[in-house]
Structure 1
Amino acid sequence: MLSETSTATVRATLPAVGAAIGEIADLFYRKLFDAHPELLRDLFNRGNQASGAQRQALAGSIAAFATQLVEHPGTRPDVMLSRIANKHASLGITAPQYDIVHTHLFAAIAEVLGEAVTPEVAAAWDEVYWLMANALISLEERLYAQQGVLAGDVWREWTVVSRTEETEDVATFRLTPSDGAPAPAFRPGQYVSVQVELADGARQIRQYSLTGAPGSELRTVTVKRVRDEGAPEGEVSRHLHTRVREGDRLRVSAPYGDLVLQDTDAPLLLVSAGIGCTPILAMLEHLAAEGHHGPVTVVHGDRSPAGHALRADHAALTGKLHDGSAHFWYEHPEPGHPVERTGLVDLGGLTVAPGTHAYLCGPLPFMRAVRGQLLDKGVAPAALHYEVFGPDLWLAQG
């Protein structure tokens, strides 16, 4: 909890800091990478830096955390913190790195806000930073302990045992630990980080959802290729598609992620778009294997049936459930596809049972639209769970 003195100072300065937080975040990253170029090369996603997505996510999270401290001092945004901590754990972030961030973030704040940063203001925002940082450090230490690894020691070498071309732009890689040791357990909906060495020597990292059965010794990731050859956003997916074959080895992290299927008999709604189907497939496989008896409604949107990765699995796993139904929307459907499911996903005509828990994964505009529709149908906000591929811009966009 923020001290009374700092609460008053943060409340008074929050409008000014909030208005400048984007500029602060941009300057922070420039200072950070000037001092530590290895972080941009081997830890931070160069695509997200180039697009500005990481800057937006950082700005949104700091503003949201500070607002929570002054407006709701008895609580903290645990959902947001958990999502960040899981991502950090999958990257192997450790406590000393928060000191590095603090140095360059506060240098950026001082430079952008100038004389407005009095000693009192600096002390108050320093308190905000360390409340957030220490909360994340504590969560990350717990996540490392749950995996039985030392802080930051999340990486193992895995061997590709098979590769399957799902669509023109999507490939599935099945992996096994190269050392023959047991694969770490994971929960349906979680992801791993995959690190590859690119042509320029950078070791870039991306996260991919696990789509295989949790009980198997194999781990399965399905990767959509980003085809813009000049964009750093897709440099890892292009590397995996063009260079990685059976017998190759990859550095893969322990599994993390907080979009995990809860143990409940409540009605479930599993909603995805595009490659966002991957965590949903893991959930469906788990539900089918466990003989789940509750109602499960599956919704997916894609450009076309041919572009719908793992389409057959999506339908077959739903069909194995005692009370499952699948509803697929396509912008460019095959002849005979229902007219009411042509175009973008629209839940207006879909019955959503009382007490439904919904799990969403896909592009952010899609999830915002679906979330709005579900709230209109009476789904409780606490029963709406989502995963964003890449920086979480939900908060940054209001």
Structure 2
Amino acid sequence: MLSPKSTELVEATLPAVGAAIAEISALFYERMFAEHPILLRDMFNRGNQANGTQAQALAGSIAAFASGLLAGRTPDGMLRRIAHKHVSVGVTPGQYAVVHKHLLGAIAEVLDVTDEVAAAWSEVYWLMADTLIGIERFLPQGQQEHRVIARFQETEDVVTFVVRPIDGPVRAGEPGQYVSVQVPLPDGARQIRQYSLSGRSDDALQFSVKRDGEVSNHLHDHAPVGSTVTVSQPAGDVTLRPGDGPVLLASAGIGCTPMIAMLAELAATGSARQVIAVHGDRDQLTHPFRAELAQLVAKIEDAQAHVFYERPIGEWPAVRTGFVDLASVPVPADATAYLCGPLPFLRAMRAQLLGAGVTDIHYEVFGPDVISAG
């Protein structure tokens, strides 16, 4: 809880901080990476830094946390997502002090605030940081070298990797979770990206990678069977919740990976729940796990699939043309909805579900979370 004086100052300056947050974030990252270049080289996504989405997400999360404090609530969902991402990439408690130094310095420089205002925002930051550190302390941490024991070409630009720890047992993840994979790049950087678990296995981890960006390209081109990759413990809080109510699994593109893992779990456990699987893609050839989707839905007593292709090839009577539109899909208001896909898809699905009275919505987004931050 914020102190009374800090509450007053944060409430008075929140609009100004919000209006200048893009400038503050840009300066913050510039200052931090100048002093700690290894963070940009090995931890932060260079693509997200270049296009500004990382700054937008960080800014939005701090503003959202401050707004929550003023309203007497904590954005728990946002904090859990951040905490899981942090442990998956190896953020340490000591790095919070580094962020604090440069973030508060950027706020002070951009807004020319008084020492009292700077202290108030410092209090906000440490309340958020301490909450995250507390959550992260109880999450599985650590990265291990894994050997690639199999790989499968799902589509022209999607490959599934099956990996096993070189030393020690595998920690099986839950359906919906992801792993962080770190690879060495030609310029000496060791960049990290997250990939959803896409299948069930007792002694290995399976994740699928779309060719898109420097880490994904490296895995496609330089991770044959027998090679090694550095993989984190499974992380992520968007997992299949227990219960007997209806389930909606909605995805687009490579966002099908956590959904196919959840569907496989429902099929393997003989679930009696109503399951509605919805997927959108460009066409049949770009749709990963197309055959598995049909096979898994057929194994579940009360399940149905709704597939949308923007430009289907040939005549496909069971496929709808265009983007995913939940208006044409019967989704019960008491359904638990899981979403994964590009940001425009997530925003559209969330809006459609809320409009239909569905409020139990969970989503996974890779890269900066500008939905909860926005």
- Report the TM-score, using the length of structure 1 for normalisation: 0.92
Distance 2:83 2:19 in 1: 26
Task: List alignment gaps of at least 5 residues for structure 1.
Answer: 227-233
Candidates 207, 216, 226, aligned match of 1:221: 207
1:51 Cα offset (Å): 1.1
Match of 1:156 among 134, 140, 144: 144
SS at match of 2:62: helix
Of 124, 127, 147, 1:128 maps to 124
Q: Percent identity?
A: 58
1:376 to partner: Cα distance: 1.6
Residue aligning to 1:251: 230
Structure 1 residue identity aligned to 2:309: Y
- Does structure 1 residue 198 correspond to structure 2 residue 194? no
1:142: Cα distance to partner? 1.3
Alignment of 1:61 onto 2:61: yes
Q: Counterparts of 1:40 and 1:8 in 2: how far apart (Å)?
A: 35
SS in 1 for 2:312: coil
Q: CA–CA distance in 2 between the matches of 1:113 and 1:377?
A: 42
The counterpart of 1:389, out of the listed 357, 360, 366, is 366
1:87 maps to what in 2?
Answer: 85
**CA-CA distance at 1:349 after TM superposition:** 1.8
Alpha carbons 2:339, 2:362 under 8 Å: kept: yes
Can you give the 5+ residue segments of structure 2 that lack an aligned partner in the other structure?
A: none
SS of match in other structure, 2:322: coil
Aligned equivalent of 1:237, options 216, 221, 235: 216
Give the alignment of 1:1-398 within 5 angstroms. 1-70=1-70, 72-73=71-72, 75-114=73-112, 117-143=113-139, 147=140, 149=141, 154-179=142-167, 181-213=168-200, 215-226=201-212, 234-338=213-317, 341-380=320-359, 383-396=360-373, 398=374
| Corresponding letter in the other structure for 1:33 | F
Q: How much does 1:335 deviate?
A: 2.3
Q: 1:100-132, CA deviations, whole angstroms, 9 ceiling, x for partnerless residues?
A: 111111111111112xx1121011111100000
CA deviations 1:41-92 (Å, max 9, x no partner) are 111111111111101101111111111111x22x200000000000001011
Paired with 2:313 and 2:272, the residues of 1 have a C-alpha distance of: 32
* C-alpha separation in 2, matches of 1:92 and 1:371: 30
Q: Label 1:242 to 1:187 Cα distance change in 2 as closer, same or farther (>3 A).
A: same
Three-state SS of the structure 1 residue aligned to 2:352 is helix
What is the letter of the counterpart of residue 371 of structure 2?
Answer: W
Task: Give the Cα separation in 2 of the matches to 1:80 and 1:168.
Answer: 34
Alpha-carbon offset, residue 339 of structure 1 = 8.6
Whether the 8 Å contact between 1:212 and 1:218 is mirrored in structure 2 is no
**Cα pair 2:307 2:318 within 8 Å, conserved:** no
SS at match of 1:172: strand
TM (normalized to structure 2)? Answer: 0.98
Contact 2:170/2:204, CA 8 A, preserved across alignment: yes
Which amino acid letter does the alignment assign opposite residue 391 of structure 1? P
Once the two structures are TM-superposed, the CA of residue 174 in structure 1 deviates from its matched residue by: 0.7
For 1:224, the aligned partner's letter is K
TM-superposed deviation, 1:338: 3.9
Deviation at 1:185, TM superposition (A): 2.5
Give distance in 2, aligned partners of 1:41 and 1:294: 46
Residue 387 of structure 1: how far off its partner (Å): 0.5
- Structure 1 residue ranges, 4+ long, deviating more than 4 angstroms after superposition: none
Aligned to 1:231: none
Which amino acid letter does the alignment assign opposite residue 98 of structure 1?
A: Y
Distance 2:105 2:350 in 1: 38
Q: In the TM superposition, what is the alpha-carbon distance from 1:395 to its structure 2 partner? A: 3.5
Contact kept? 1:24, 1:109, Cα under 8 Å: yes
Aligned length: 374
**Contact residue 273 and residue 301 of structure 1 kept, 8 A:** yes
